[in-house]
Amino acid sequence: MARKTVLVCDSCGNEVDEGKGAVMRVTYTDARRGAKQADLCDPCAGRMPGRAAARRGRRPKSATAA
């Protein structure tokens, strides 16, 4: 029971190995709605909509480093 925290994919429920997977972050344009994020395994991350994004944010708002 003394396992370290296991990351579970929020989409399919599979465990995500350390060093694998992805975090999908949804940030509402309306800042008051905040943001939400999901942990995803590699296959699920690949199925998510979206496009490749540059790592350096071009948003003026401070992007909280995960």
Chain residues in the site for Zn ion (CB under 5 A):
9, 11-12, 41, 44
Shortest CB 15 distance to Zn ion, Å? 9
**Interatomic CA distance for residues 25 and 33, integer angstroms:** 13
Which C-beta is closer to Zn ion: that of 48 or that of 63?
48
**Interatomic CA distance for residues 40 and 2, integer angstroms:** 23
Which C-beta is closer to Zn ion: that of 12 or that of 23?
12
Which C-beta is closer to Zn ion: that of 6 or that of 31?
6
**Interatomic CA distance for residues 24 and 41, integer angstroms:** 10
